[in-house]
Amino acid sequence: MKEGQQIVSEVLNDSNPIMDFLKFIFAWNPEQPLTFMHLFFWGFFAVVLLFYSIVYKHNLARTIFLLLVSFFFYFKTSGFFIILLFFTIANDYNLGRLIAKSKTPSRKKLYLTISIICNLLLLGYFKYAYFFTESYNQLVGGDVKFFNHYAQFSNSFFGTHFSVDKLILPVGISFFTFQSISYVVDLYRDKVKPVKNILEYGFFVCFFPHLVAGPIVKAHEFLHQINQPYKLSKQDFGVALFWILNGFAKKVMADYIAINYIDRIFDNPNYYSGTEVVFGVFGYSLQIYADFSGYTDIAIGIALALGFRLKTNFLSPYKAASTSEFWQRWHVSLSSWLKEYLYIPLGGNKKGTIGSYICIALICVVMILLSGKIWLFFLFAALAVLLFVLTMLIPKVKQTINTNINLLVTMLLGGLWHGSSWMFIIWGGLNGLGLVLHKLWQKISPFNKTNSVLYRIVMIFVTLTFISFTRIWFRSANLETVGFIFDRMSNHLGLDLIWDIIVGYKLVFAVILLGYLIHWIPERFKVQYRTAFAQLPVPAMIAIVVIAFFCLYQAMSSEMQPFIYFQF
């Protein structure tokens, strides 16, 4: 037996070209996950299209083929974390069947609860287990060592070499977990019919274009497409190519301004003047938009080429004239998911519910653990008692809390969805506060009925400034870095250096300015040039795409950055 294992090992480790090529194609390399920006992906996609042209007319064959392709894509992206994807698919498919077959509401609710708990426990373990262990030790002075049970399992059964004292977040776990939750909730609400088989369900959860970074697909928006006949007009093909090219260009731009300016500012703010830091803050807003919307543009284009429609995830968010409008335009799939499956069930803007106060309590627990200070518990308890007394004595206080509490809860939980850090809690809290203040402003604003272009421009700038400065917490590594950034902006602005700064970073600033100007082009013009591209003869479209890709690859930095939202 040992001799056989040794022979296999020698063969696998042999450096002959064929084995090296097979390893490159089929093995998982954690240092080089498969992304849309790699040439390997486009070779992979070309092969997918080749075989897809054979099966696309037969729905079941198409579903099975794309499911297998999606599994391969996720394995090349995340390796043996694919087991978690298998578990989510099997678990929620079977619980969904039980929900559909149940005759009583109580039984349906039981299976729904089990599904949600399983999903949240899985998500919570990989996103927060290390944090809870560390916080426990900090609070009680303990010395509990974190142990990654999944890493131990993978090392034992698959021969991987994960560190058991570290926690690695599986790529895309937040996205496919939310998608799976949407299915069981939609079944419970009778908004969808149960899928015919586990193959269809697996395809819905892990369709590879949107699998690792969205857009988040809701069951009632996607399932009906699985059994529809393939349909792709020349116009659709052109639009698909446009979205792919558009997203690719955005990512190249995002990486350029990040590597050549923004990362330097946030990594060492003390080395720069306040003016440079301010430019960096606005530049980061463009970077994160171009990076994230670039990914989803490519995902939408690839899905469309395969005959599936994904909803637009970004609606020119920096055209928003208020925080409320911004969150209707930014990461629409997450915002709408939170609204449909969290905000409204908690009571919306009508009232706070038991669920609202449970969520507030959980957020307070996380904040206490993050601080490591037990006195914070007593502070929160005192504030809760004070608010309770005020609501009993002053009806307006109760009404204000009831109509705004769920906004704050949703944004705070949205912050925690990004990670267990004060940075994300503060960022979520500030955005929640911005939404509440906008609601209050609408009640007293003398400009509610104005159609003034000047007023809208001013409010767009105010909104962009607010959103950009909340992202200081989102982007910074810790509170100390935030302190340095505000110190530079407050005490070391360096306005006398502004011309030298512009000249010194002229190319970076030109790209940032161009990015914002393109973003602010009226939507009707964007539709016109997108349509004009889609109506070109196919050879002309392909020629433009090939030339553009060649130029973009030449412009790409050798320090290609991973997509920002891969970490969530």
Q: Six-digit token pair at 121?
A: 């426990």
Does 219 lie in the same domain as 368? no
Does 208 lie in the same domain as 324? no
Q: What's the pLDDT at 7?
A: 44
> Per residue in 434-471, pLDDT tens?
998 888 888 888 887 778 889 899 999 999 999 999 99
Does 361 lie in the same domain as 216? no
- 365-358-128 Cα angle (round to 5): 45
What residue type is assigned to position 445 of the chain? S
Does 344 lie in the same domain as 219? no
17 φ, ψ (degrees, to nearest 5): -55, -40
Q: Which of these three, 161, 194, 226, is where a domain ends?
A: 226
Please give the residue range of the domain that contains residue 424.
317-445
Q: What's the pLDDT at 3?
A: 45
pLDDT at 6 over 60: no
Q: What is the DSSP string of 381-416?
A: HHHHHHHHHHHHH-HHHHHHHHHHHHHHHHHHHHHH
Q: What's the pLDDT at 409?
A: 86
Q: Six-digit token pair at 421?
A: 């850090």
CB atoms within 10 A of CB 67: 22
Cβ atoms of 374 and 139 within 8 Å: the answer is yes
pLDDT at 362 over 90: no
Q: What's the pLDDT at 258?
A: 92
Does 350 lie in the same domain as 207? no
Q: What's the pLDDT at 465?
A: 96
Q: How far apart are CA 356 and CA 345, in angstroms?
A: 9
What residue type is assigned to position 219 of the chain? A
Cβ atoms of 465 and 354 within 8 Å: the answer is no
> Per residue in 260-303, pLDDT tens?
999 999 999 999 999 999 999 999 999 999 999 999 999 999 99
| Cα dihedral: 6, 8, 12, 17 (round 10) | 120
pLDDT at 154 over 80: no
193 φ, ψ (degrees, to nearest 5): -90, 150
In a domain, 354, yes or no: yes
**What's the full length of the chain, in residues?**
568
Does 180 lie in the same domain as 38? yes
In a domain, 196, yes or no: yes
Check whether the bond before 30 is cis (ω within 30° of 0). Answer: no
Q: What's the pLDDT at 165?
A: 76
Does 353 lie in the same domain as 218? no
Considering just the CA atoms, what is the radius of gyration of the chain in Å? 25
Cβ atoms of 413 and 470 within 8 Å: the answer is no
In a domain, 193, yes or no: yes
Does 204 lie in the same domain as 327? no
Q: Which of these three, 211, 226, 241, is where a domain ends?
A: 226
In a domain, 361, yes or no: yes
Q: What's the pLDDT at 559?
A: 59
In a domain, 121, yes or no: yes
DSSP run (H or E) holding 41: helix 39-55
Q: Which of these three, 191, 226, 261, is where a domain ends?
A: 226
Q: How many domains in the chain?
A: 2
Does 321 lie in the same domain as 222? no
The mean per-residue pLDDT over the stretch 24-52 comes to 83
Tokens 């069930």 belong to which residue? 345
CB atoms within 10 A of CB 377: 15
Cβ atoms of 403 and 389 within 8 Å: the answer is no
Mean pLDDT, the chain, rounded, equals 86
State the angle between helix axes of 173-188 and 198-206 in degrees (0 to 180), rounded to the nearest 10: 130
pLDDT at 8 over 70: no
| Cα dihedral: 171, 333, 418, 428 (round 10) | 170
User: Which residues fall within 8 angstroms of residue 327, CB to CB, at 6 or more apart?
Assistant: 335, 431, 435
Does 425 lie in the same domain as 321? yes
In a domain, 286, yes or no: no
Does 332 lie in the same domain as 185? no
In a domain, 291, yes or no: no
Q: Both ends of the chain: CA-CA distance in Å?
A: 43
Q: How far apart are CA 497 and CA 479, in angstroms?
A: 27
Does 182 lie in the same domain as 58? yes
Cβ atoms of 261 and 508 within 8 Å: the answer is yes
306 φ, ψ (degrees, to nearest 5): -90, 0
In a domain, 170, yes or no: yes
CB atoms within 10 A of CB 422: 16
- Among residues 9, 189, 172, which one has the least CA distance to residue 79? 172
